[in-house]
Amino acid sequence: MRGIWKLNWPVWAGIAAGILLGLFLKIIEHITSLEVYTLLLNVDYVPLLNELKLSELVEFALHLVISILLSIALAIFLKQKNWSRRRSLFWVSLACLAVGLLLYPTTVLSDRTPELSDPAALLFWLAGHLLYGIALGWLLTSSRGASA
């Protein structure tokens, strides 16, 4: 059982960090009315998916699938490096912040999401992705996940 846990550690790390990001952005959206959680779940620009009426749960599950795939890719990348935990954590956090920065412009492809020029929405979006990166990096470099 322990071997299966280690084998799937990047999957669990992706789920946990993805849930954290979702909760953070949902709370921010609830408090500020900035539609950053809506942006996280937005599939308006994805062919075929944009034709379906998906529930919030299904959209969140799609977000978690992306989070798992990113976690696995980063775990494979880190396994090839002989970096300290601190350096690994820095690079995972930076990569996740970059993903957030690259995804933010998709907001122009929907009328349900914040304006591209909204600095508060961008700040919360990037803060969420930095939080996600720190959490994911911490999980991927923990002693349990380090040998995964």
Instruction: Summarize pLDDT for 118-130 with one digit per residue, the tens.
Output: 999 999 999 999 9
pLDDT at residue 144, rounded to an integer: 47
Length of the chain: 148
Spatial CA neighbour of 35 closest among 102, 131, 122: 122
How much is the mean pLDDT over the chain? 92
Percent of the chain with pLDDT over 90: 79
**Does residue 58 have a pLDDT over 70?**
yes
Q: Given CA atoms 71, 77, 79, 81 in this order, what sign does their dihedral have?
A: negative
**Does residue 63 have a pLDDT over 50?**
yes
* Lowest mean per-residue pLDDT among 46-50, 87-91, 93-97, 110-114: 46-50
The stretch 7-24 carries a mean pLDDT of: 95
* The token pair that represents 53 in the structure block: 């009426």
Is the pLDDT higher at 100 or at 43? 100
Let me know the angle formed at the C-alpha of 64 by 61 and 66, rounded to the nearest 5 degrees: 115
pLDDT band of 81, cuts 50, 70, 90: very high
pLDDT band of 5, cuts 50, 70, 90: low
Three-state SS sequence of 53-121: CCCHHHHHHHHHHHHHHHHHHHHHHHHHCCCCHHHHHHHHHHHHHHHHHHHHHHHHHCCCCCCCCCHHH
Residue matched to tokens 């946990």:
16
CA distance 42 to 44: 6
Where does residue 81 rank: exposed (0-12), middle (13-18), buried (19+ CB within 10 A)? exposed
**Does residue 147 have a pLDDT over 60?**
no
The stretch 135-143 carries a mean pLDDT of: 92
pLDDT at residue 148, rounded to an integer: 43
Percent of the chain with pLDDT over 70: 91
